[in-house]
Structure 1
Amino acid sequence: MIRFPNFRPSVPAPGADGERVHLGDLLKGAVETLPDVLKVQRGLWNLATARPTSVGSIGLRLQALAEAQPHATALKFDDRRWTYAEFNAWANRVAGACRQAGVQRGQVVAILMSNRPETLATIAGVIKRGAIAAMLNHQQRGEVLAHSLRLSKPAMIVAGEECAEAIASLAGSGVLDTVPAKAWDGASPPPGWHDWAAAADREASANPPETATIRLKEPCFHIFTSGTTGLPKASVMTHYRWMKGMAGLGQMTLRLSAGDTLYCPLPLYHNNALTVCWGAVLADGAALALSRKFSASRFWDEIRACEATAFCYIGELCRYLLNQPPTPRDHKHPVRLMVGNGLRPEIWDAFQHRFGIARIAEFYGASESNLAFVNGFNLSKTAGFCPLPYAIVDFDHDAEAPLRGPDGRLRRVASGGVGLLISEITERAPFDGYTDTRANEAKLLRDVFKPGDCWFNTGDLVRDQGWRHIQFVDRVGDTFRWKGENVATTEVEAALNRIDGVEQAVVYGVEVPGCDGRAGMAALSWTPSRFDATGVAAQLRAALPAYAVPLFIRLRREQEVTATFKFRKVDLKREGFDPARIDEPLYVLDGNRYRKLTPAVHDTLIKGGLRL
């Protein structure tokens, strides 16, 4: 029976007087973790004692749970359930099928499947074999998908029948001809593909011996970047980084119990699903409830159906939920905890209070990064704390590079300042990088504070909140300079999202002939039929500095996003504000109001006839 908590959470300690973290808030948060002190200690111990050369792996962790709690629920999907013993045996049969297909330890198996139990079992079996699961984005088509396959150079590909269209889009690329083995999960395998489910069914359910010999430093996944600014890159995830995430996020921060269920609406090719969700579940033997895909309208019904006590979020997912019409059932769910990244400060409190979430474990991390920040003390509007070596340094927005002083060294920002986040590369915090070694060097900074040191460039601007806490501000490419001032797109988006009628705001910089820097432009998902050109301008002028008020506005029915809810800005930037290329309503700021940007107005602007 589901018991719904009848409470409205007290407001967590704010991350700042505005933005700052205070010692009193941290102490209060630390006291609240005391009931789970043994879990925290276990996580600390695992973090402190893990060595890249030690024997250990995700598969070995799954195997240990199957032995310790064989009848506990490991996976939920729709109305089906698998125990740890059942799921581990399934993974073992998949590992056997990999062996029969000729897959060797250290080789790559590309997986092109949507969210379903067979996908997770395939992943588990591949890594129990000692191979690497390359998690292809099943939304990709044609050359982008072919590019991802070429990056991983797989010895085998496993494709689900639901991805037939994606496979068909590879025709003519020749990329499948380079893959020795091809497996089809579904009915009627195409010519040259073997039946994956039948192959696994023929194998034994016993634990494969190779699982017990895998070392933490060995790769387990290839995770592909979203490709919002170009073709995807394949970052390498090792068992070592995954296990550190399990200890830090799972055992120290989320502190789930065997009776908990964590609901995952995110695609398994994303690290928030594969590492954060699955890692937190395997940390304490909880259950993973896997959704086919995120749906704002079905989200809470699915939460109730699977009796989830926690869920994972990313990007704009929370805003989509907040934009749904309020209902009396908004508090009727068993969730006490949510974990993820990208919950914007401007909607943090509204989301937490409307849906009655007691604890928000926001974190900062990236697939290719060698560090993570975690909000383990239930503070508000912060990405949390990191014990590893990092620095926040001055950034040159014009050159889009960190700013070096006269001595050639980088300079740390003052407490409370905004700068580029970089992390030191050490034996305990290695940079596993990408499969494309040329992409690796572009992410490294050398001779940063002393000769010979090496740091990873995250490409993210963050705010130093004090006490080793940060707040995400913007991606480097999303911050632009106008009228000699740096404009953070997130600040402008926050102001726009507070305006009635704006469902989603995407802000970016566009080039204007004859002007230095980039002018601000906003693409708005707008609900009313009539755009309040005067009212929007007035509200923006009241909320933002004059240089940050967008000069151009584009109205659209809906925004284009990646499968992980990141806005696609590449096309928006390329199309700019030219009405000849855009069939959506355009506006330009003219004094105290926005006016229609017609071809004639555009021509006048290009010729310098409008004062910007």
Structure 2
Amino acid sequence: MVDLSAITGPVERLVATAQNGLEVLRYGGLETGAVPSPFQIVESVPMYRLRRYFPPDARPGAKPAGPPVLMVHPMMMSADMWDVTRDEGAVGILHAAGIDPWVIDFGSPDQIEGGMQRTLADHVVALNEAIDTVKSVTDRDVHLAGYSQGGMFAYQTAAYRRSKDLASIVAFGAPVDTLAALPMNLPAGLAVGAADFMADHVFSRIDVPGWLARTGFQMLDPIKTAQSRLDFLRQLHDREALLPREQQRRFLASDGWIAWSGPAIAELLKQFIAHNRMMSGGFSIHGDLVTLSDIDCPVLAVVGEVDDIGQPASVRGIKRASPQADVYEYLIRSGHFGLVVGSKAATQTWPTVAAWVRWLAGDGEMPDGVVPMALQPEESHESGVPLALRIAHGAGAAAEMTFSVARAAGSAVVAANKSARALVVETARTLPRLARLGQINDHTRMSLGRIMTEQAQATPRGEFLLFDGRVHTYEAVDRRVNNVVRGLIDVGVRQGAHVGVLMETRPSALVAIAALSRLGAVAVLMPPDADLTEAARLGAVSDVIADPVHLDAAKKLPLRVLVLGGGEARDLDLAADDDVVDMEKIDPDVVALPGWYRPDPGFAKDLAYVAFATVNGELVARQITNFRWALSAFGTASAANLSTGDTVYCLTPLHHQSGLLVSLGGAVVGGTRIALSRGLRPDRFSHELRQYGVTVVSYTWAMLRDVIDDPAFALHGNHPVRLFIGSGMPTGLWRRVEEEFAPAHVVEFFATTDGQAVLANVASAKIGSEGRPLPGGGQIALAAYDPDDDLILEDDRGFVALAGTNEVGVLLAHPRGPVDPTASVKRGVFAPADLWVSTEYLFRRDEAGDYWLVDNRGSVIRTERGPVYSAAVNDTVGRIGAVDVAVTYRVTVDDHDLAVSALLLRPGGTVPTADLNEALTGLPVGAAPDVVHVVPDLKLSATYRPLLGPLRAAGLPKPSRNAWYLDPDTGTYRRLTAAARAELAGAASDE
């Protein structure tokens, strides 16, 4: 008997396959009969529509809606992702659990007028408005839930509104530390470079259509994509088997993908991949600077154990980025899309989210599997999703293993070449700067104004100036500079004029300095706390630019005052002041440029600035040429390896040389952002680091002690700082700063006033060292020195002898550019008729070639035991663990000099006598001080440099348990007693 089933079975299967296949070809999929969940459009604007699913019954006695959850989709996916299947979709499950589900729908931008010009900031602002609407309608705090990039939007919006009206954030596979673990384990260095290039040169010109977004998503996991398609074809005959997953398949295969605007992609790549600003802070939302550290509502991060897009290491960055928030995680063994759609999402993710919402409302226990997120190390050792989990997760284990093994081999090569790659990147940035610096001669056109013009032309929309929580682009700042130039021309300021700048550190001060540079005038930087009449005389000032804050002080000078800036609070009454001009009332568009005007006319040799310093209580003018400015600016950018991803925090005022030469100069040359501070405010320091995304902090002397000693100072979680740059930091404070801000380092600079000698401790490996000569700077040499007779030594041919290793010598500089007329010029130094400048600073050079400041030639304390070199003593004593700052000074008693060292300790610190003896036994050069004592405080100058005058005036320290003298018999330190003090003072003791 013939078995008909053996014949009809394959035929029926073939027919079913053909019928189902034809339906898929004609309609894109199988008809499931499913209907979407009901929803109401609560708000509809061009940017979004706000859906409320299962709107509550408004009739009396109806059950009230539960806690609202507002769900956010990523830009490339349709908002329908939350309702792919009614019974197993997010909105249906949440509604059944008593939750009030809301969805923001950004729509398809290619179908909306102006949609393809949307930016990331537009989405954040839209979500911010939607939260206000949900809060207004429900009168309850909102739970914000976002998937993938939607989760990033949720974090960014929460930070933007400082968690106002938010009950919690739930993020599904949302990357935060985007460089911790990239999709397909791409090396971070490669990703940063590629993201920068794509943002600037690709997505600034094109958009991504929906089909391309779908293809890109599928290519991130090609094995799984191919496997899913094969499974569908193999089951095409079995309609009943396919129907439960058909809606999900159709969503991923076609329906779920929408276009992506180029500007939004460029901003994503620039801010959150190339610059990783969700971790560092300082990302811009329509000009406002935002940081995730402002989030203080509870956070639940749903982590996919085998998610290769929102990788666990990247998702867990939220713990470090938001130190004020209580952060929890829920780990699910799923890939990226499976976190929110599919069987595991229906049985694990969404019930857990519902339980989380109820728990926060006080209506239940914490859900199973939700645990506090552990603080991850800043540099994660996770290299992506582990191979074992991939094998367990995927059906194509063999193929996945092959792919992962190849990738692991590639990672090994990447790790082996990490330093080489970093060196290549650093060299690529540094060499052009050093080459340009080396090409500068007296007649090279070089100025601050010129470099700012170049940056504005290269990256007009690049972020440049940060102040009071706002960001200004290069284009905007450059336009403002040009307008001020026109105003200066209108009031008669010409090239070469000396114009005083008496202003707070704010954008208008930077603009004024840059405008004078562009005009070719000389900016005389007048310190507000100095004798302004004397400053005006020394600077040969003809006019003064002042802000409203300093207007009254400026009006006391016998000069014309030009008022600039002042912000919204500006209210001037200048009707009766003939010598006061309100620059803001000049319309730059009606100012005709004269024939003599050429923008940025300054040569390197030209005087560009006059700054001031106080020496022995007297105000001294320091002349700064364009070459001197360029040397510091290019040198800083090179030594600190500044890039477009950096933000320099300018703590010093712009009228100080450090602010002008290091902070502003380095930032402009490096193309980085510069954040201006209104002054050192320890109570705001930590917040501004994160708000601005500060990566480089400038300082002078002991400035940072006020920060880390402030009782309110605390660093929780992540901080973005990688470098501190400046000069004069005491060794003890240096060590503390690196401890507090690890893994950040200090790059210490040393530069003479005229800039002929510049050193930098780029490696930062030797605390206290001034490092080595800056490439591109002038040539230096260390002349042999006799401290007893204060003479530079000569060899048997009559030329200057060179100091040996670890010998004290006078630092000489072979000048480049104009020589200061007050400088100590030497000729015939190492060859007939050569010319060198003596810096008058004493240094030693160690075996490795690093330079260590020993003293100033005129400050050596010559005692009966030999010369005491102040800087050498200060560096050595500063290495005692409890010491923050050490200063050594001369006290003259009965016509003989004593060397005294004062120690300022860290809070709660003490100095054992044994530690003091051990430290000073290892003094590298010179004699030890006669007396060492602890002081409760040190008076500092306006630039945070310790003042020696008050210490000298106090004479010998009084006997105490925190004062020691050097016993000449034993060569060790002992407690300073009254008898010992009297003996030191030259008076015989009666005891």
After TM superposition, the score normalised by the length of structure 1 is 0.80
* Higher relative contact order, chain-length normalized (CA < 8 Å, sep 6+): 1
Q: Output one character per residue of 1:78-107: Cα deviation in whole Å (capped at 9) or x when no partner.
A: 112211111111111222222223222112
1:120 to partner: Cα distance: 0.6
Equivalent residue, structure 2, for 1:453: 834
CA contact (8 A) 1:315 1:564 kept: yes
Equivalent residue, structure 2, for 1:487: 868
Equivalent residue, structure 1, for 2:853: 472
DSSP 3-state at the match of 2:829: coil
**CA separation in 1, counterparts of 2:807 and 2:985?**
37
1:370 to 756, 781, 803: 756
CA contact (8 A) 1:520 1:548 kept: no
DSSP 3-state at the match of 1:486: strand
1:83 to 453, 456, 473: 473
Is 1:236 aligned to 2:236, yes or no? no
Equivalent residue, structure 2, for 1:287: 673
**CA separation in 2, counterparts of 1:385 and 1:413?**
16
DSSP 3-state at the match of 1:414: coil
DSSP 3-state at the match of 2:691: helix
Alignment of 1:114-513 (within 5 A): 114-141=504-531, 145-163=532-550, 167=554, 176-177=557-558, 179=559, 181-185=560-564, 187-188=572-573, 191-199=577-585, 202=588, 209-224=597-612, 226-250=613-637, 252-324=638-710, 329=715, 332-346=718-732, 348-377=734-763, 379-381=765-767, 382-386=769-773, 387=775, 388-404=778-794, 408-425=798-815, 429-433=816-820, 437=821, 440-441=822-823, 443-465=824-846, 469-498=850-879, 502-513=883-894
The one-letter code sitting in structure 1 at the alignment partner of 2:917 is R
The one-letter code sitting in structure 2 at the alignment partner of 1:474 is D
1:46 to partner: Cα distance: 0.7
**CA separation in 2, counterparts of 1:239 and 1:72?**
25
The more displaced of 234-243 and 497-506 is 497-506
Alpha-carbon spacing, 1:399–1:162, altered in 2? closer, same or farther (3 Å): farther
**CA separation in 2, counterparts of 1:507 and 1:9?**
41
The one-letter code sitting in structure 1 at the alignment partner of 2:605 is K
Q: Output one character per residue of 1:584-610: Cα deviation in whole Å (capped at 9) or x when no partner.
A: 99967385643466xx99777645316
DSSP 3-state at the match of 2:653: coil
**CA separation in 2, counterparts of 1:7 and 1:446?**
57
Q: CA RMSD in A?
A: 3.8
The more displaced of 562-571 and 473-482 is 473-482
Q: Output one character per residue of 1:457-515: Cα deviation in whole Å (capped at 9) or x when no partner.
A: 22222221356542333333443222332222234334544557655332212122153
Q: Output one character per residue of 1:314-361: Cα deviation in whole Å (capped at 9) or x when no partner.
A: 222344445456976266211223322234445545432431234543
DSSP 3-state at the match of 1:492: helix
**CA separation in 2, counterparts of 1:258 and 1:268?**
21
CA contact (8 A) 2:442 2:817 kept: no
1:264 to partner: Cα distance: 0.9
CA contact (8 A) 1:261 1:309 kept: yes
CA contact (8 A) 1:337 1:360 kept: yes
**CA separation in 1, counterparts of 2:700 and 2:442?**
29
Is 1:523 aligned to 2:902, yes or no? yes
The more displaced of 304-313 and 445-454 is 445-454
Is 1:105 aligned to 2:484, yes or no? no
Is 1:50 aligned to 2:440, yes or no? yes
Between structures 1 and 2, the one with greater helix share: 2
**CA separation in 1, counterparts of 2:907 and 2:689?**
31
**CA separation in 1, counterparts of 2:899 and 2:944?**
22
Equivalent residue, structure 1, for 2:937: 558
CA contact (8 A) 2:794 2:800 kept: yes
The more displaced of 543-552 and 300-309 is 543-552
Q: Output one character per residue of 1:353-381: Cα deviation in whole Å (capped at 9) or x when no partner.
A: 43123454332213323131234455444
Gaps of at least 5 residues in structure 2 are 1-276, 281-319, 321-375, 381-416, 567-571, 968-972
Equivalent residue, structure 2, for 1:14: none
Alpha-carbon spacing, 1:204–1:281, altered in 2? closer, same or farther (3 Å): farther
The one-letter code sitting in structure 1 at the alignment partner of 2:898 is A
Equivalent residue, structure 2, for 1:24: none
Alpha-carbon spacing, 1:205–1:474, altered in 2? closer, same or farther (3 Å): farther
After TM superposition, the score normalised by the length of structure 2 is 0.51
The one-letter code sitting in structure 1 at the alignment partner of 2:633 is M
How many corresponding residue pairs? Answer: 563
User: Percent identity, aligned pairs only?
Assistant: 25
Gaps of at least 5 residues in structure 1 are 11-26
The one-letter code sitting in structure 2 at the alignment partner of 1:158 is I
Equivalent residue, structure 2, for 1:2: 278
The more displaced of 29-38 and 263-272 is 29-38
Is 1:569 aligned to 2:948, yes or no? yes
DSSP 3-state at the match of 1:274: helix
Equivalent residue, structure 2, for 1:16: none
**CA separation in 1, counterparts of 2:674 and 2:377?**
25
**Larger Cα-atom Rg:** 2
1:299 to partner: Cα distance: 2.4
DSSP 3-state at the match of 1:222: strand
The one-letter code sitting in structure 1 at the alignment partner of 2:946 is F
The more displaced of 60-69 and 491-500 is 491-500
Alpha-carbon spacing, 1:526–1:64, altered in 2? closer, same or farther (3 Å): closer
**CA separation in 1, counterparts of 2:839 and 2:587?**
44
The one-letter code sitting in structure 1 at the alignment partner of 2:580 is H
**CA separation in 1, counterparts of 2:615 and 2:279?**
42
The one-letter code sitting in structure 2 at the alignment partner of 1:218 is D
2:483 to 79, 89, 93: 93
Equivalent residue, structure 2, for 1:15: none
CA contact (8 A) 1:523 1:555 kept: yes
